[in-house]
C-alpha cells in the first residue's frame, strides 16, 4: 500500500501554513471604511497600512456543505484614533455554523455578539481556545504592541456576513483611554 506524504504543513509555533491550496486575505486601512468609530482618523491614516492578514487552507470550494476550512489570522499592532486594530467581525452567512479560534502569539480580546446584540469579551492569550456558537458574531482585537496571531477552523459553507456589522455595530468597542485598555459602548 502506498503511503502518501502530507501535502500540507502547519507550524505549531507560529500557525503558519504551507503547501497546496493555501489562500491569503489581507485587510489594509483602506478596506476598513465604516468599521472604526473615528472615520476621520481612518481617512488620515496611510491607507496601505496592513491591519490584518489571513492565511487559510481550503480543501473544497467555498460554500461546500460538510467541509472545513483551517487558517490563521495576524492582527497587527496599531490604533485608529484611540481604537485598537481589529478584524471587521462577522456573523456567518449561514447563521447556524459555529467556529473554533485558538490563540498562538500575542494577546487580545475576542468580542462575541449574539443576534440580540448582547456582547461579551474573552481574553485571547497563547494557548486560549475559543468556541464561537452558531448565530454569534466574532471580532478579534489586538490590544498590545506585538502582533496577535490566532488559528481558526470553520465550516466551508459558513460564509461571512459583514453588512449587518456595518449596519448595527458590535455592541462594544475596545479603546485605549488614558493608557488603559477600555471597553466602551458603541
Ligand atoms: C472565518 C474566520 C476568520 C476571519 C478572520 C478575519 O470564519 O472567523 O478566518 O475571517 O479572522 O476576520 P473578518 O471578520 O475580517 O473575516
Ligand atoms: Zn467566522
> pLDDT tier at 186 (50, 70, 90 boundaries)?
confident
CA distance 74 to 176: 20
145-173 per-residue burial string, b: 16 or more CB within 10 A, e: under 16:
eebbbbbbebbbbbbeeeeebeeebbbbb
For ligand 1, the distance from its centroid to the CA atom of residue 68, given in whole angstroms, is 14
What is the total residue count of the chain?
A: 186
Q: pLDDT > 90: what percent of the chain?
A: 97
- The reply to whether ligand 1 has any atom less than 6 angstroms from the CB of 73 is yes
Encode pLDDT of 74-91 as tens digits. 999 999 999 999 999 999
Residue 20 has pLDDT above 90, yes or no: no
- Other beta carbons less than 10 A from residue 99's beta carbon: 19
Residue nearest atom 6 of ligand 1, based on CA coordinates: 87
For ligand 2, the distance from its centroid to the CA atom of residue 139, given in whole angstroms, is 9
- The reply to whether ligand 1 has any atom less than 6 angstroms from the CB of 88 is yes
80 contacts 41 by C-beta, under 8 angstroms: yes
CA-158 nearest atom, ligand 1? 7
- Which CATH number applies to 8-185? 2.60.120.10
Burial of 141 (0-12, 13-18, 19+ CB in 10 A): buried
- The reply to whether ligand 1 has any atom less than 6 angstroms from the CB of 152 is yes
Q: What average pLDDT does the structure give for the chain?
A: 97
Encode pLDDT of 101-111 as tens digits. 999 999 999 99
**pTM (two decimals):** 0.97
Nearest ligand to the CA atom of 54: 1
Residue nearest atom 12 of ligand 1, based on CA coordinates: 87
CA distance 134 to 98: 4
For ligand 1, the distance from its centroid to the CA atom of residue 89, given in whole angstroms, is 7
Amino acid at each position: 500500500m502506498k503511503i502518501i506524504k502530507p501535502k500540507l504543513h502547519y507550524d505549531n509555533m507560529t500557525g503558519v501554513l504551507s503547501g497546496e491550496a493555501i489562500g491569503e486575505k489581507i485587510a489594509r486601512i483602506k478596506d476598513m471604511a465604516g468599521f472604526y468609530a473615528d472615520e476621520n482618523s481612518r481617512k488620515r491614516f496611510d491607507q496601505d497600512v496592513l491591519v490584518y492578514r489571513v492565511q487559510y487552507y481550503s480543501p473544497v470550494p467555498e460554500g461546500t456543505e460538510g467541509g472545513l476550512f483551517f487558517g490563521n489570522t495576524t492582527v497587527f499592532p496599531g490604533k485608529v484614533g484611540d481604537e485598537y486594530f481589529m478584524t471587521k467581525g462577522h456573523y456567518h452567512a449561514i447563521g447556524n455554523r459555529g467556529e473554533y479560534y485558538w490563540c498562538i502569539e500575542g494577546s487580545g480580546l475576542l468580542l462575541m455578539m449574539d443576534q440580540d446584540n448582547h456582547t461579551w469579551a474573552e481574553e485571547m492569550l497563547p494557548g486560549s481556545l475559543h468556541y464561537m456558537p452558531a448565530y454569534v458574531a466574532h471580532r478579534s482585537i489586538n490590544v498590545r504592541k506585538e502582533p496577535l496571531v490566532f488559528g481558526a477552523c470553520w465550516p466551508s459553507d459558513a460564509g461571512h456576513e459583514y453588512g449587518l456589522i456595518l449596519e448595527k455595530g458590535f455592541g462594544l468597542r475596545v479603546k485605549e483611554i488614558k493608557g488603559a485598555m477600555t471597553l466602551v459602548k458603541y
